[in-house]
Amino acid sequence: MAKRQKYRELISQSFDFPQRDFKEEKGTLQWNDLPLMEIAEKYGTPLRITYLPKIGQQIQKARRLFNAAIANNDYRGDYHYCYCTKSSHFSFVVEEALKNKVHIETSSAFDFELIKRLEEKKKIKKENFIVCNGFKPQKYIDKILEAYNNGYKNIIPVLDNMDELEKYGTPSGTLNIGIRIAAEEEPKYEFYTSRLGVRYNDIVPFYQQKIQNNPNFKLKMLHFFIDTGIKDVNYYWTEFHKALDVYCDLKKICPELSAINLGGGMPIKHSLTFDFDYEYMINEIVTQLKNTCNAEGVDEPDIFTEFGSYTVGESGCVIFSVLGVKNQNDRETWYMLDGSLMNNLPDIWGLSQRFIMLPINKWDDEYKHVNLGGITCDVGDYYNSDAHINQVYLPKIKPGEKLYIGFFNTGAYQDTLSGYGGIKHCLLPSPPHILVDEKKKNEFTYRVFAEEQSADSMMKILGY
Ligand SMILES: Cc1ncc(COP(=O)(O)O)c(C=O)c1O
């Protein structure tokens, strides 16, 4: 009879394993060296974990690679790392990012409440760049002006559209501004041009008519962001060069223009096969910026980025355990989770996002093909395809055994999109959330950021 394979063997045959952040010891998984099995048993499941040191590591890595590329290319501009708060607004995330000397990117009026509180705690400095994106209602504009008047002189509202300029009225000094370019979308979208930003051809005439001789504003930044992310593909480079051409055209008539903002979209690890070459990509960006500017005879701009997922995505994971096994027919086995995928990781449901999904224990057991079912009654609450094979394999479970399952690198957008702590599908509570700090004296320290959401908190929102 053929030898039955263990889960561990499946993984070692499918991937280079162990690998960055993931390894296995005594049949259990470690992520960033965290003993996940111990944590799951101590705090119960479902459980959210944020491994805070990862945030600083990511920021430092990007900064190191940009600075190296700047030095290698003899590039005469600086690099500024902004953190895009919408990817995770939690205080522990933003504070960790600020410890690593980032600037801030905002997307709405409430971001300024966050900045006010960070200021009270002396976590943010008035010298910080605050790049303000988005289509802005007057309340957002008012908050931008208020921050400017309170001393945030490096605030840069990025005009999403030409009408926005007038909403700032007459600021109390010369306000630095940016303009966002509306990129052409990838052909997979139903529309050609992004709704965000100003069309390429309108930018230079708009500058000449409304900004050039206007003492209230200085055009400092051109903003360019491709929603599908920074990738070494034709589409990205085509849009990138279109943006650079606009930059050079503008720079020739607007000497105070000094920055290009590449937005977000730096990819993160969503599969164990992920092998994005950050160093190559960053160097290529800097080289192409340099070459184009030199060819056009304009000074190289300072480079801003607003990485959200990249900053915080790889710091988060969610752990579930299998509550029960259902064999619905000869071929389909469902592992029923003790929480909802839809509620906790809404990108799975909304975008068919694949995350790294791995068992936490039982790596020495045989495996089988399964579907994972969330605990809501919704037919869409499931996960049945890993990024590399479009199927899910997990260790077999014998009666009475416990299997823990982790979804990794889930730290960006999932809490905000799922309305963390609000009301949830089937009234399932937000799970407890544990924060992990840097290992000291060979020990991790854990902090409970939030216990499981209480019924009272949900009932209050619902008006009971
Ligand atoms: C203007 C802007 N900047 C930055 C980001 C962050 O993108 P990411 O999380 O892919 O880095 C976004 C995301 O939507 C954005 O709209």
On whether both 276 and 361 belong to a single domain, the answer is no
Average pLDDT over residues 416-425: 94
Task: State the pLDDT at residue 42.
Answer: 97
On whether both 166 and 135 belong to a single domain, the answer is yes
Task: State the pLDDT at residue 385.
Answer: 85
Nearest protein Cα to ligand 1, atom 13: 264
For residue 271, report the distance from its CA to the centre of ligand 1, in Å.
Answer: 21
For residue 189, pLDDT beyond 80? no
State which ligand 1 atom lies nearest to the alpha carbon of 264: 11
Buried b (16+ CB within 10 A) or exposed e, 339-351: bbbbbbbbbbbee
Among 307, 333, 351, the domain boundary falls at 307
The residue type found at 60 is Q
The answer to whether residue 88 is domain-embedded is: yes
Please answer whether residues 374 and 364 qualify as being in contact, where contact means their C-beta atoms are separated by less than 8 angstroms.
no
d(CA 243, CA 303): 13
Q: Report the CATH number at residue 211.
A: 3.20.20.10
Using CB atoms within 10 Å of the CB of residue 396, give its burial: 0 to 12 exposed, 13 to 18 middle, 19+ buried.
middle
pLDDT band at 210 (very low <50, low <70, confident <90, very high): very high
Inter-CA distances, 415 with 54, 190, 270, 307, Å:
18, 28, 17, 17
User: Which 3-state string (H, E, C) describes the chain?
Assistant: CCCCCEHHHHHHHHCCCCECCEEEECCEEEECCEEHHHHHHHHCCCEEEEECHHHHHHHHHHHHHHHHHHHHCCCCCCEEEEEEHHHCCCHHHHHHHHHCCCEEEECCCCHHHHHHHHHHCCCCCCCCCEEECCCCCHHHHHHHHHHHHCCCCCEEEEECCCCHHHHCCCCCCCEEEEEEECCECCCCCCCCECCCCECHHHHHHHHHHHHCCCCCEEEEEEECCCCCCCCCCHHHHHHHHHHHHHHHHHHHHCCCCCEEECCCCCCCCCCCCCCCCHHHHHHHHHHHHHHHHHHHCCCCCEEEEEECHHHHHHHEEEEEEEEEEEECCCCCEEEEECCCHHHHCHHHHHHCCCCEEEECCCCCCEEEECEEECCCCCCCCEECCCCCCCCCEEECCCCCCCCEEEEECCCCCHHHHCCCCCCCHHHCCCCCEEEECCCECCECCEEEEECCCCHHHHHHHCCC
On whether both 138 and 264 belong to a single domain, the answer is yes
State which ligand 1 atom lies nearest to the alpha carbon of 223: 1
On whether both 99 and 242 belong to a single domain, the answer is yes
Task: State the pLDDT at residue 388.
Answer: 76
pLDDT band at 418 (very low <50, low <70, confident <90, very high): very high
Average pLDDT over residues 234-253: 95
The answer to whether residue 58 is domain-embedded is: no
Return the biggest CA–CA distance within the chain: 84
For residue 435, pLDDT beyond 70? yes
The answer to whether residue 64 is domain-embedded is: no
For residue 147, pLDDT beyond 90? yes
The answer to whether residue 166 is domain-embedded is: yes
On whether both 137 and 219 belong to a single domain, the answer is yes
Q: Are strands 47-51 and 333-337 parallel, antiparallel or unpaired?
A: unpaired
For residue 129, pLDDT beyond 60? yes
Give residue-wise pLDDT tens across range 68-107: 999 999 999 999 999 999 999 999 999 999 999 999 999 9
Residue 140 CB neighbours (<10 A): 22
Of the given ranges (52-66, 184-198, 292-306), which has the lowest mean pLDDT? 184-198
Task: State the pLDDT at residue 1.
Answer: 52
Average pLDDT over residues 250-279: 97
Among 307, 335, 355, the domain boundary falls at 307
On whether both 262 and 330 belong to a single domain, the answer is no
φ, ψ dihedrals at 57, nearest 5°: -60, -40
Average pLDDT over residues 445-454: 96
Written as six digits, the tokens of 371 are 């579907």
Q: 257: which residues sit within 8 A by CB, 6+ positions away?
A: 219, 220, 221, 222, 247, 250, 251, 301
d(CA 83, CA 308): 6
Task: Give the domain extent around 239.
Answer: 73-307
The answer to whether residue 59 is domain-embedded is: no
d(CA 4, CA 393): 14
Nearest protein Cα to ligand 1, atom 2: 263
For residue 387, pLDDT beyond 80? no
The answer to whether residue 446 is domain-embedded is: yes
Inter-CA distances, 117 with 94, 111, 155, 312, 450, Å:
11, 10, 17, 20, 20
On whether both 180 and 265 belong to a single domain, the answer is yes
Nearest protein Cα to ligand 1, atom 6: 264
Q: Residues with beta carbon inside 6 Å of ligand 1? A: 84, 87, 105, 133, 225, 263-266, 306-310, 412
For residue 306, report the distance from its CA to the centre of ligand 1, in Å.
Answer: 6
On whether both 303 and 404 belong to a single domain, the answer is no
The answer to whether residue 62 is domain-embedded is: no
Average pLDDT over residues 136-160: 97
Average pLDDT over residues 237-255: 96
On whether both 35 and 112 belong to a single domain, the answer is no
On whether both 131 and 236 belong to a single domain, the answer is yes
Task: State the pLDDT at residue 226.
Answer: 87
pLDDT band at 194 (very low <50, low <70, confident <90, very high): confident
d(CA 424, CA 429): 7
Task: State the pLDDT at residue 187.
Answer: 67
Positive or negative: CA dihedral 17, 23, 24, 30:
negative
Nearest protein Cα to ligand 1, atom 5: 264
Please answer whether residues 46 and 319 qualify as being in contact, where contact means their C-beta atoms are separated by less than 8 angstroms.
yes
Task: State the pLDDT at residue 237.
Answer: 95
State which ligand 1 atom lies nearest to the alpha carbon of 265: 10
φ, ψ dihedrals at 431, nearest 5°: -70, 165
Average pLDDT over all residues of the chain: 95
Q: Which of 225, 281, 311, 413 is the pocket-test mutation for ligand 1 (most atoms within 8 Å of CB)?
A: 225
Beta bridge partners of 75: none
On whether both 162 and 41 belong to a single domain, the answer is no
State which ligand 1 atom lies nearest to the alpha carbon of 133: 1
Of the given ranges (6-20, 90-104, 379-393), which has the lowest mean pLDDT? 379-393
pLDDT band at 196 (very low <50, low <70, confident <90, very high): confident
Average pLDDT over residues 337-353: 95
Torsion of CA 341, 342, 345, 347, to 10 degrees: 130
Task: State the pLDDT at residue 312.
Answer: 98
Q: Report the CATH number at residue 320.
A: 2.40.37.10
Among 275, 307, 339, the domain boundary falls at 307
Please answer whether residues 104 and 83 qualify as being in contact, where contact means their C-beta atoms are separated by less than 8 angstroms.
yes
Q: Which of 55, 80, 82, 84 is the pocket-test mutation for ligand 1 (most atoms within 8 Å of CB)?
A: 84
Q: Which of 369, 338, 360, 366 is nearest to 432 (CA)?
A: 338
pLDDT band at 137 (very low <50, low <70, confident <90, very high): very high
Q: How many domains is the chain built from?
A: 2
On whether both 318 and 381 belong to a single domain, the answer is yes
For residue 83, report the distance from its CA to the centre of ligand 1, in Å.
Answer: 9
Residue 2 CB neighbours (<10 A): 4
Task: State the pLDDT at residue 227.
Answer: 82
The answer to whether residue 416 is domain-embedded is: yes
